Amino acid sequence: MMSTAPLAKLVLFMFCLAIAGSALAGAHYYTVDLPAQKNLPAPGNAQFSKSNCDVCKHNCIVDKDIISCLSHCQEQQCPENV
């Protein structure tokens, strides 16, 4: 008859290994991943971005109502003239 002691030791070893891996993964998340997520820069399409002015200029080229387009660009506070 085989003894179940080696199997029980293997299960205990695997359980301890899983706990140690979870602890290391949690420590890595709190020290590396979480601070990197908090320090993200603002997106490029944020309000008062230069890309908004570029889009506005492009829209004025193809827009039939140029007056409303220019007033919209002035609302965007683009630094250069459209």
Predicted confidence (pLDDT) per residue in 1-32, tens digit: 456 788 999 999 999 999 999 999 999 999 99
Examine the domain organization and report whether 52 and 81 are in the same domain: yes
CA separation for the pair 15, 7 (Å, rounded): 12
The DSSP 8-state label assigned to residue 41 in this structure reads P
Examine the domain organization and report whether 76 and 56 are in the same domain: yes
The DSSP 8-state label assigned to residue 82 in this structure reads -
Examine the domain organization and report whether 58 and 82 are in the same domain: yes
Examine the domain organization and report whether 80 and 63 are in the same domain: yes
pTM over 0.85: no
Q: Spell out the long-range contacts of 46-51 with Cβ–Cβ below 8 A and sequence spacing 24 or more.
A: 48/76, 48/77
Judge whether 12 lies within some domain.
yes
CA separation for the pair 73, 61 (Å, rounded): 12
In this structure, of 15-19, 22-26, 59-63, 74-78, the range with the lowest mean pLDDT score is 74-78
| Domain that includes residue 70, residue range | 47-82
